[in-house]
Structure 1
Amino acid sequence: MTASTMTPTAVKEPTAARRLLTAPAAGPFAALVLASVFFSLSTDQFLSGGNFSLILQQVMVVGTLAIGQTLIILTAGIDLACGAIMAFGGILLAKLAVNSGVPPVLAILLAIAVCGGFGLVNGLLVRLVPLPPFIVTLGMLNIAFALTHIYSDEQTVTGLPGPLTALGKTFPLGRTDVTYGSLLTVGLFLVFAYALNGTAWGRHVYALGNSAESARLSGIRVTRLTIGIYTVAGLVYGVAALLLVSRTGVGDPQAGQTENLDSITAVVLGGTSLFGGRGTVLGTFVGVLIVGVFRNGLQLMGVSSVYQTLVTGVLVILAVTVDQLSRKGTR
């Protein structure tokens, strides 16, 4: 046998272009670009700085919820209670500041902490009992919903102090007015993108989503990690509550009734697998924008809201179908 026949075949490393094209967010980003081009050609109002700022304002609350939802879905879980937890956090911080005389900043911190407490309880039940995330968060949805209506006495809280609505104010960016809340949402996406891609904690999250047992055998403290992820998600929902209150200017007990499904929609459209272990926070940001662009563009075209919902449903089914087919193709 000659030396040449014994030389192993070199494995070609994928090029940067190939890695970009095969990234989970590549397809959603292409869909976002195509949708933007379509609506730009369909209506003159779409392609403007003011309209893009409006889209960001419309999606900042759901987008923030979707960050926490992404963390949980990456572990192969799901959170049906995120919208209800956010609604309770919004009512809590509004009533503390308006009715109880608690300093606004302290009211905000307490509300965020309580939302984190909801997440902590979810994590404890999922990991220590253990119960399926679907069941735990379904039950928590009803608990948070009931507590919101009991605590608010079905009354909308008005007359909020300035710190509670500060994130709803705007600042000029070029010729466009942008809200501080939109800037905070984008900042949160960047922070969690780094946390997932640039830290050991993020690598552990992906490992947990791929296989909890393999993660445990590799030395990862799975129980502590899972509880921590649900708690962090709850804290993020508390920030979403502040954004909601700052955008609407009131504490509304009717808020958050569809945001749980909207956040799941954004995560799925952004390329995160419902089976766990694959996806990115930046992909979720793209998914949030896809939902915002479609709803905004269809509204500018005069399309009824029921058809906007129909289109969103079709997009979700397509996204999950693509994920399932891609998983089969890698086996």
Structure 2
Amino acid sequence: MIMRGNIVSTLGPLLALLIAIIFFASQSDRFLTGPNLSLVVQQVMVVGTLAIGQTLVILTAGIDLSNGAVMALSSIVITKFATAYGLPPLVSVLAGLLVCAAFGLLNGTLITRLRLPPFIVTLGTLNIAFALTHIYSREETVSSLPDALTFFGNTFKIGQTSVTYGSVLMFVLFLITWFILRETAGGRHVYAIGNNPEAARLTGIRVSSMLLFVYTTAAIIYGIAGLLLVARTGVGDPNAGQTENLDSITAVVLGGTSLFGGRGSVMGTLVGALIVGIVRNGLQLMGVQSIYQVLITGILVILAVTVDQLARRRQK
């Protein structure tokens, strides 16, 4: 039943994506070219990766406002460890992932042990991560990075189109997460907790441990997004990630995942991220000012949440 509902919830976003593609293709000859579509994927690979972790959290009926700030902190840790301390790139990346895991563990512990609302907890850790990023970086952009840290920003050719390794990594992460949620007991437990945590507990699911695992895993994924951010920009920027938390929620909501938990698909999130990327890219090709791109994205989010609410009411 859950899997069937997830397929249905993804059909709407897929239709919206198809309509957007047809519309923008009719408005610009450049839109459906390989280089432009590759650019769209490059532009969404960081937010798309963030949205994978956000999807896991929202499926449990939680929310994570800290993910953009945690990603920015991890990118500074990775780049500083590699440049200021001269550590090997792999060690630097592991350090960044460890910092992210610590934040995820903190979020999960406060939510499960102290019963604090996820919104409040992650709002607090957002500010902590933001402050630590600026304190540790001393407000300075970290540059002159070793080539290994920018590997995922490199490209390879498919025909005449250049594709980044980071885009491939994002798609691989989506596939792995989709498989885990669909085919494993742990994935089914995530949905069960989002539907009804008390009923899940009565069936033998260790709800607190599972939530702790979800928040920690999501945070590690934010660290991978931080690595992709470094690879895409070629620097460690302390000012990065300030709106990515909202962008990741936008991708999840547009992808058909319910903000109330228990229903949705990570593949829907991929579609949602692509919708945002295609709308912004298409409007840019049409010469529409960026502020109107933000306006239209906001309208799309409200429409998506409205559809979700109406669907929930019909189920009741």
Inter-partner Cα distance in structure 1 for 2:98 and 2:128: 17
Tell me the residue number matched to 1:99: 84
In the alignment, structure 1 residue 202 sits paired with structure 2 residue 202: no
Tell me the residue number matched to 2:222: 237
Question: What amino acid maps onto 2:210 in structure 1?
Answer: L
Contact 1:85 1:141 in 2 (8 A): yes
SS at 2:262's partner residue?
A: coil
Identify which of 21, 26, 31 aligns with 2:16: 31
Inter-partner Cα distance in structure 1 for 2:278 and 2:119: 29
Tell me the residue number matched to 1:172: 157
Identify which of 261, 271, 276 aligns with 1:291: 276
Inter-partner Cα distance in structure 2 for 1:179 and 1:109: 22
Q: Quick one: structure 1 residues 130 and 308, their matched pair in 2 at CA, closer, same or farther if it must change by over 3 Å?
A: same
Inter-partner Cα distance in structure 1 for 2:218 and 2:203: 25
SS at 2:9's partner residue?
A: coil
- The count of aligned residue pairs is 315
Question: Per-residue deviation at 1:194?
Answer: 0.3
Identify which of 53, 56, 63 aligns with 1:78: 63
Identify which of 154, 159, 175 aligns with 1:190: 175
SS at 1:24's partner residue?
A: helix
> CA-to-partner distance for each residue in 1:161-197, whole Å, 9 max, x for gaps?
0110000000001221100000000000000000000
Tell me the residue number matched to 1:318: 303
Inter-partner Cα distance in structure 2 for 1:125 and 1:195: 26
Contact 2:67 2:245 in 1 (8 A): yes
Question: Per-residue deviation at 1:23?
Answer: 1.0
Aligned pairs for 1:128-139 within 5 A: 128-139=113-124
Q: Quick one: structure 1 residues 21 and 155, their matched pair in 2 at CA, closer, same or farther if it must change by over 3 Å?
A: closer
Inter-partner Cα distance in structure 2 for 1:120 and 1:280: 24
Question: What amino acid maps onto 1:305 in structure 2?
Answer: S
Inter-partner Cα distance in structure 2 for 1:163 and 1:130: 42
In the alignment, structure 1 residue 220 sits paired with structure 2 residue 205: yes
SS at 1:273's partner residue?
A: coil
Runs of 4+ in 1 over 6 A off after TM superposition: none
Question: What amino acid maps onto 2:98 in structure 1?
Answer: A
Inter-partner Cα distance in structure 1 for 2:85 and 2:171: 32
SS at 1:177's partner residue?
A: strand
Inter-partner Cα distance in structure 2 for 1:42 and 1:311: 17
Contact 1:20 1:26 in 2 (8 A): no
Q: Which runs of 5+ in 1 are unaligned?
A: 1-12, 14-18
Inter-partner Cα distance in structure 2 for 1:52 and 1:315: 21
Question: What amino acid maps onto 2:38 in structure 1?
Answer: S
Inter-partner Cα distance in structure 2 for 1:201 and 1:140: 26
Structure 1 vs Structure 2 CA RMSD: 1.3
Identify which of 97, 106, 109 aligns with 1:124: 109
Inter-partner Cα distance in structure 2 for 1:121 and 1:265: 24
Inter-partner Cα distance in structure 1 for 2:30 and 2:5: 32
Question: What amino acid maps onto 2:41 in structure 1?
Answer: L
Identity of aligned residues (%): 62
Inter-partner Cα distance in structure 2 for 1:129 and 1:174: 54
